[in-house]
Amino acid sequence: MKLPIYMDNHATTPVDPRVLEAMLPYFTQTFGNAASRTHVFGREAAAAVERARKQIARLIHANPPEIVFTSGATESDNLAIKGVARMHRQEGKSRNHIVTLPTEHKAVLDSCRRLEKEGFEVSYLPVGADGLVDLGELGGAISEGTMLVSVMAANNEIGVLQPINEIGELCRERGVLFHSDAVQAIGKVPVDVQAMNVDLMSITAHKIYGPKGVGALYVRSGKPEVRLAPLIDGGGHELGMRSGTLNVPGIVGLGKACELCMQDIVEESRRLTALRDRLKDGIQSRLEGVHVNGSMEHRLPHNLNLSFEGVEGEALLTGLDGVAVSSGAACRSLASESSYVLRAMGMGEDRAQSSIRFGLGRFNTQEEVDEVIDRIVETVKGLREFSGFALRSQEQW
């Protein structure tokens, strides 16, 4: 088996060769600035941008003008959350309350904390041991002062799918805007912003086999119309919501990646689910004391997050040299603390520290899965033998 094996597709994905092929002409041939409409180079670039806008819109059932291009999901999350809050303040509206979850991506949590320093109020609702929010608690947290609810469609660490349809319906009934970071869900499970009653949705290219450094924010233009205060000024690009020269090659890549996801989502989801289950069953059939973190029923097809009793996650990662997996989100991979997502689910420090995230992807094979099973079993057994490991009861764990 050729090493290294890549199973960290939640952190990023390789660019699909078909995406790269679509992008290449826009570096050296059709290289115009999409805002330069007075000559053919600019008009060709602008046409490519609008084609990509349509490709993205089709994937999520939006209208093309509702797609605003950004540098990636972090900017999209910031623009959605800060943009709504600051526009409410600029327009003199009394609402100043945001509801979110403690398991959200740092781009959402840090944006909310920034707004708290500006005088806005934020409620962080707890999640259950399965990682899911309680809809009753969410409904109780929404007040007359609530302007925005932000809940990610799929968690980037445990792969849990939140009840987005029900959350969207609740927000619509209460007259509250609903933002969802759908970075991990796009292209993996069906996403329909109309059916889900989503008002703002964050997207990025590099999680769906597109390039890094480009993303989009869906901003509803119909009822309720969403108005955002821009984060970046200078030129009024993207309907005034995001100024700056457009990254035409990256946007073309994002559009092509979305087109491919739309074509392949059913078959790819089926294949990844089979590989994910083979990985889980293969590990658990050969090792005791291995626990799944998060709901298996409401889960992305390519995600598996496991805790290994008696083994530190970082030690396991070191022992798996040649297999690319992670102990959590890439944005906190340099930190020594355990996953804040797992802690928010009520897990003890030992279990949280022993967790490993597997992110399967488009280019993984069954042979790679079998090799990773063998490597995991061998490494865990070795670490347990070295530490004098003894199984705990389920209650202790």
Among candidates 299, 290, 324, which has minimal Cα distance to 392? Answer: 290
Quote helix, strand, coil % in the chain, to nearest 5.
40, 15, 45
- Take residue 146 and report the two structure tokens written for it: 């609530």
Among candidates 202, 191, 184, which has minimal Cα distance to 329? Answer: 184
- Take residue 37 and report the two structure tokens written for it: 């409409």
| CB-CB contact of 70 with 76 (8 Å) | yes
Among 112, 171, 258, 331, the one annotated catalytic: 331
Q: How far apart are CA 282 and CA 232, in angstroms?
A: 49
Residue given tokens 């890094």 in the structure block: 212
Residue 301: asked if its preceding bond is cis (omega within 30°), the reply is no
Give the chain's radius of gyration (CA, Å): 22
CA angle 131, 136, 137 (to 5 degrees): 65
Residue 26: count of CB within 10 angstroms of its CB: 22
| CB-CB contact of 81 with 115 (8 Å) | yes
Is 331 assigned a catalytic role?
Answer: yes
As annotated, the active-site residues are: 331
